[in-house]
C-alpha cells in the first residue's frame, strides 16, 4: 500500500467506498477486488470488503496477485472472509500460477465457498499465468464426489479447440504434457499402461478424450472440394464467414490444398483464423517470394510485395532464409525494429503439415505487434507472419491509435 | 487388479512379499510402490504396504497413477498410511498431472509427512506428466513458513538451464507461462505491474529470477573467438568436452559464428547438446544441402549425403522445403516411415537466432526415434534433425538392440 499507492489505510478505505458507489451509478453488477489479498493485512482487508458490500458491490473478488498462496491457506482465507463479511455477495477467486498452484488454489476456494472463478484458457496471463480454465472445469466434472455442490455450464467438448485457438492467437504454445488440452494428455506411451488401457479404459483414463474435444480429427477437404463444401465444413466447425472473407479464405484453401492432399479440421481452423486476423486493411501484401539457400550458398530471398498499391521488388541475403526474407520485407517497407520472438508450430504434426508461424516485432519507435502466417513452407509462413505484423504497425502510424491497444490482450489482474 | 493383473487379493499380497524379499537379496534400499493408490481399496493397500515393510522395504512410494486426487484428500491418504503402517520407512509420493494438481498434491503430501517426492524436470511424464520438480522446489523455498520442517538440497540457480536442456533433449517445448522456468515467469507485461515492480520489487515478485537461473545471459563468443576461449566458456557453463567431441563442437561453432555475430550461452548449450547427441556412430552425415522455393516454384532440395562412407547425391521436391529435404534424405537412405512430430524453437528468440529443430519419426517397421538439429537456417536444421533420427534407426538395425531402449525416457510410473 505504502510502496505502490502512497495512501494511508483511511484514504484507501475512502477511495474504495467512493469507487464502488460511483460504479453503482452505472450498473447494478459491481465487482470489487482488493489486490494481493494473500499478503494483505486480513482485518483491514475485511473492513474494506465490508465497506464495498455495504456500498453496493455484488461480487467480491479475492486475488492471489503474486501466486503466493497454498491450497490449505487459500481455502482458509476464503472461508474466513465469508464469515467476517456479511451481506448478499458472490465470492470470487483469482489465482496466479507463480508456484504452480493456481488451479489447486482455485479449486480449494470453490470448496471453501467461492462461486466465481477468474481463470483463463491455457492458463495464460501475467508472468506464470492465471488458473487454467480447462483444468478447473475438468476437475469439477471428473470429481463430482469432491465438488458435489457445484457445476459449470462449460461445453467441455470445445475445450481442446478453444485451447488451440488461444494458442494460435497469442503465439503461446501449449506444452505437450499440459493437463486436459496438451496433445499428450491422453497419450499412453509406456507399454505397461497401453496394455492396461486396452484391457479396460478406466485403468488409466479418468477422462474420455472426446469429452474435452481431443477426439479423432474428422477429415475433411481435399483439392477437389468446392466452395459449398468448404463453407459447409467451416460451419460444422462453428465458423461462419461470408462474402469477401469467405472468398479470401477459399482462395488460400485452394492454394494450400494444391500442395497438400487433404486438410484436416485443425488446418482449416488455422487457415480461417489467419484470414480473419488479416481483415484489417492491409498496407502491405505478399505477391511472390523466391528463396534459396545451401551449405555453400548464402541464404537469399527475392521478394515482390505490394506497398500501398504499388508493387515493389527487393532482394536480400541473411543468416538463414527466414532472416533473408524478413530483411527483404524490412527494405521494402522501410520499417526498422527487431523480432523479439519467433515460433513455429506444425498445425497437425509431421513435416508435411502446414507451418503456423507466430512472431513478435518491436519497431524502433517502440510499437510492439505480433503476426501470424500459415503456409506449406516454413519460410513462406514466416514471411506472411512478418508482413501481417508490419500491417499492424502501419495501422498504428496511419490512425494514431494507442500502439498498446492494437495487439495486447487485456490485463488479467 | 482384476482387469489388469488377473490376480486375487491373496495372490497380489503374496507376490508383493516375495518381490520385496527377493529385491532385499540384492540391495538394502528397496522401494515398494502400489499402483493407483488413489483409487485402490485402502485397507487392502495398507495390508500390502505393511507386508512390504515387514519384508524389508525401506521406502513406500504412493502413486496417484491417474492424477485423480485433490490436495486435501491426498494429504489425508498419506497421513492415514503413516498411521496405519508401522515400521521404519520413508513415505514417498508420486503424483500425475491429469487434472493439473500434481504439484499441489505433492506439496500436500509433504505437509502430511512424505519425505520423498517423485517428480520430473518440466513435469514431463506419461500423459499430462508428473509433478514439476522446479515448482515443488521453489514452493518449499519461497514458503518456509508453510514448509518449515523440510528443505531440498537442489541448487535452484540451475533450474532454468536444466529445464532448457530437458526441453531440448525431449523435444517438448516449455510453455511461456510455465511457473518458475517458463520464459515469461518473471515478465511483467501490464503497465500497472511494471510500475509496482520499479517501486519495490517484492510488490509482484515472490522469487528472484536469478535464484532459478533466469538471469541475464552473459554474452560470450563471436567469430573471432579461439578454441581456448570456446573451451573455457563451455567449462564455465558446466560442460566438459574434450578431444574429438571438442573439435567437432568447435568446428560447428565456427560455422555458426560466421553467420551470426555473437553466440549466447543458450546457443552454446544447444550446440554442445546437439554434438553430444550425435556421438553415436553416424551411418549418415550431411555433406551439403541446397534448397529453393517460391510462390511460383515447386520447393526442391539437392542433397549430398554420406551413406556408410559413400557420397550420394539426390534431389527431391515437396510441399515445402523441409518436406523436399526430408524426401531427399529418405531417398538416399532408403528408410521408409513417417514424421510424427516436428517442432522448431529459436534458441534465443528472434528471427536471426539459431533454429533448434526436434522431430520424431516412426519407421515403417515400428521403430520410433527422435532427432535434433541446429543451424542458422530452419531448413538446414530440419535436415540435420532428420539425419540424426535416421542414424538412430540405422543403429537399431545394425545392433539389433531393443528399439524402445534407443530413444525413450524411462517409464516414470
Residues A314-335 pLDDT 10s: 999 998 899 999 999 999 999 9
Q: Considering only the beta carbons, identify the residue of B174, B206, B321 that sits closest to A379.
A: B321
| DSSP letters for A133-199 | HHHHHHHHHH-TTTSTT------GGGHHHHHHHHHHHHT-PPPTT-TTTSTTTT---SHHHHHHHHH
CA distances from B9 to A204, B15, B54 (A): 20, 10, 18
CA distances from A390 to A122, A270, A384, B287 (A): 27, 20, 10, 37
* Spans of chain B, pLDDT less than 70: 1-5, 189-204, 216-219, 260-261, 277-281, 348-352, 402-413
Given this model, what pLDDT does residue B243 score? Answer: 83
Given this model, what pLDDT does residue B295 score? Answer: 79
Given this model, what pLDDT does residue B117 score? Answer: 98
Given this model, what pLDDT does residue A413 score? Answer: 42
- B18 and B35 in a single domain? The answer is yes
- Separation of alpha carbons B392 and A93, rounded Å: 50
Q: Where a domain ends, among B231, B246, B277?
A: B277
Closest-CA distance, A322 to chain B, in angstroms, reads: 7
Contacts B190 to A, Cβ<8 Å: 126, 411
Task: Report the range of poorest mean pLDDT among A14-23, A96-105, A332-341, B33-42.
Answer: B33-42
**A148 in contact with B, Cβ within 8 Å:** no
With contact defined as beta carbons under 8 Å apart, do A355 and A378 qualify?
Answer: yes
A345·B343 Cβ contact <8 A = yes
Tens of pLDDT, residues A81-91: 999 999 999 99
**pLDDT, mean of residues A122-126:** 94
- Separation of alpha carbons A124 and B22, rounded Å: 49
A256 belongs to a structural domain: yes
Mean pLDDT of chain A: 86
- Chain A contacts in chain B segment 321-380 (CB below 8 A): 321-323, 326, 338-346, 349-353, 355, 359, 375-380
- Separation of alpha carbons B119 and B122, rounded Å: 9
A176 belongs to a structural domain: no
Contacts B287 to A, Cβ<8 Å: 295
Q: Where a domain ends, among B152, B187, B213?
A: B152
Given this model, what pLDDT does residue A253 score? Answer: 86
The phi and psi torsions of B293 (rounded to 5 degrees) equal -165, 165
B143·A70 Cβ contact <8 A = yes
Alpha helices in B171-205 (DSSP H): 191-199
Given this model, what pLDDT does residue B409 score? Answer: 43
B190 belongs to a structural domain: no
Percent of chain A as helix, strand, coil, to the nearest 5: 45, 20, 35
With contact defined as beta carbons under 8 Å apart, do B289 and A294 qualify?
Answer: yes
Tens of pLDDT, residues A127-176: 999 999 999 999 999 999 999 999 999 999 999 989 988 887 777 888 88
Query: Which of the two residues, A61 and A352, has the higher pLDDT score?
Result: A61
Sequence-ordered list of residues with C-beta below 8 angstroms from that of B377, at least 6 positions apart, any chain: A293, A299, A319, A320, A321, A322, B355
Angle subtended at Cα B182 by Cα B178 and Cα B185, rounded to the nearest 5 degrees: 85
Contacts B127 to A, Cβ<8 Å: 177, 184-188, 204
- A39 and A164 in a single domain? The answer is yes
- B124 and B41 in a single domain? The answer is yes
A295·B380 Cβ contact <8 A = yes
Residue to mutate among B129, B139, B351, with most A CBs inside 10 A, is B351
ipTM above 0.85, yes or no: no
A1 belongs to a structural domain: no
Given this model, what pLDDT does residue A411 score? Answer: 40
**A12 in contact with B, Cβ within 8 Å:** no
Tens of pLDDT, residues B247-298: 888 888 888 887 766 777 778 887 887 777 655 568 899 999 999 998 778 8
CA-closest candidate to residue B170, choices B392, B25, B369: B369
Tens of pLDDT, residues A285-318: 999 999 999 877 889 999 999 998 899 999 999 9
- Domain extent for B229: 221-277
- A122 and A53 in a single domain? The answer is yes
- A254 and A326 in a single domain? The answer is no
- A133 and A100 in a single domain? The answer is yes
Given this model, what pLDDT does residue A203 score? Answer: 62
B273 belongs to a structural domain: yes
DSSP-derived secondary structure letter, A126: S
- Chain B contacts in chain A segment 210-249 (CB below 8 A): none
CA-closest candidate to residue A80, choices A356, B249, B47, A72: A72
- A21 and A156 in a single domain? The answer is yes
B400 belongs to a structural domain: yes
- A62 and A158 in a single domain? The answer is yes
Given this model, what pLDDT does residue A315 score? Answer: 97
Does residue A17 carry a pLDDT above 80?
yes
E strand residue ranges, B119-245: 221-222
- Chain A contacts in chain B segment 49-68 (CB below 8 A): 65-68
Does residue A78 carry a pLDDT above 70?
yes
Does residue A120 carry a pLDDT above 90?
yes
B171 belongs to a structural domain: no
CATH (domain of B76): 3.20.20.70
With contact defined as beta carbons under 8 Å apart, do B286 and B302 qualify?
Answer: no
Does residue A278 carry a pLDDT above 60?
no
Given this model, what pLDDT does residue A412 score? Answer: 37
- A291 and A253 in a single domain? The answer is no
B99·A143 Cβ contact <8 A = yes
- A73 and A157 in a single domain? The answer is yes
B413 belongs to a structural domain: no
- Report how many domains make up chain A: 3
With contact defined as beta carbons under 8 Å apart, do A353 and A261 qualify?
Answer: no
**B21 in contact with A, Cβ within 8 Å:** no
- B16 and B134 in a single domain? The answer is yes
- A238 and A328 in a single domain? The answer is no
Given this model, what pLDDT does residue A201 score? Answer: 61
Angle subtended at Cα B253 by Cα B247 and Cα B258, rounded to the nearest 5 degrees: 130
Does residue A365 carry a pLDDT above 70?
yes
Amino acid at each position: 500500500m505504502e510502496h505502490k499507492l502512497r495512501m494511508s489505510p483511511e484514504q484507501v478505505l475512502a477511495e474504495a467506498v467512493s469507487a464502488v458507489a460511483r460504479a453503482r451509478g452505472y450498473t447494478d453488477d459491481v465487482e470489487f477486488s482488493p489486490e494481493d489479498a494473500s499478503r494483505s493485512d486480513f482485518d483491514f482487508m475485511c473492513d474494506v470488503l465490508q465497506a464495498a458490500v455495504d456500498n453496493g458491490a455484488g461480487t467480491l473478488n479475492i486475488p492471489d496477485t503474486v501466486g503466493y498462496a497454498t491450497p490449505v491457506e487459500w481455502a482458509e482465507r476464503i472461508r474466513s472472509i465469508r464469515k467476517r463479511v456479511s451481506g448478499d455477495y458472490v465470492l470470487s477467486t483469482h489465482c496466479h500460477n507463480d508456484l504452480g498452484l493456481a488451479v489447486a488454489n482455485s479449486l480449494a476456494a470453490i470448496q471453501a465457498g467461492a462461486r466465481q472463478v477468474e481463470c483463463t484458457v491455457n492458463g495464460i496471463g501475467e508472468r506464470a499465468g492465471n488458473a487454467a480454465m480447462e483444468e478447473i472445469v475438468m476437475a469439477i466434472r471428473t470429481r463430482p464426489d469432491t465438488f458435489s455442490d457445484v457445476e459449470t455450464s462449460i461445453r467441455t467438448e470445445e475445450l481442446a479447440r478453444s485451447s488451440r485457438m488461444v494458442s494460435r492467437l497469442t503465439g503461446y504454445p501449449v506444452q505437450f504434457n499440459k493437463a486436459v488440452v496438451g496433445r499428450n494428455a491422453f497419450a499412453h506411451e509406456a507399454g505397461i499402461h497401453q496394455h492396461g488401457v486396452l484391457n479396460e479404459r478406466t485403468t488409466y483414463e479418468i477422462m474420455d478424450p472426446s469429452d474435452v474435444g481431443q477426439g479423432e480429427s474428422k477429415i475433411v477437404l481435399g483439392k477437389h472440394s468446392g466452395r459449398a463444401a468448404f463453407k459447409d465444413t467451416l460451419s460444422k466447425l462453428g465458423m461462419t464467414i461470408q462474402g469477401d472473407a469467405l472468398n479470401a479464405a477459399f482462395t488460400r484453401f485452394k492454394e494450400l490444398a494444391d500442395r497438400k492432399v487433404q486438410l484436416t479440421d485443425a488446418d482449416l481452423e488455422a487457415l480461417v483464423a489467419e484470414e480473419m486476423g488479416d481483415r484489417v486493411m492491409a498496407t502491405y501484401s505478399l505477391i511472390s517470394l523466391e528463396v534459396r539457400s545451401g551449405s555453400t550458398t548464402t541464404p537469399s530471398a527475392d521478394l515482390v510485395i505490394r506497398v500501398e498499391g504499388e508493387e515493389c521488388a527487393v532482394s536480400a541475403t541473411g543468416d538463414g532464409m527466414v532472416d533473408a526474407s524478413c530483411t527483404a520485407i524490412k527494405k521494402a517497407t522501410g520499417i526498422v525494429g527487431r523480432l523479439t520472438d519467433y515460433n513455429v508450430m506444425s498445425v497437425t504434426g509431421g513435416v508435411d503439415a502446414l507451418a503456423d508461424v507466430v512472431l513478435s516485432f518491436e519497431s524502433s519507435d517502440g510499437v510492439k505487434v505480433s503476426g501470424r502466417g500459415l503456409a506449406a513452407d516454413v519460410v513462406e509462413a514466416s514471411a506472411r507472419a512478418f508482413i501481417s505484423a508490419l500491417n499492424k504497425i502501419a495501422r498504428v502510424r496511419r490512425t494514431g491509435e494507442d500502439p498498446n491497444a492494437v495487439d495486447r490482450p487485456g490485463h488479467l489482474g
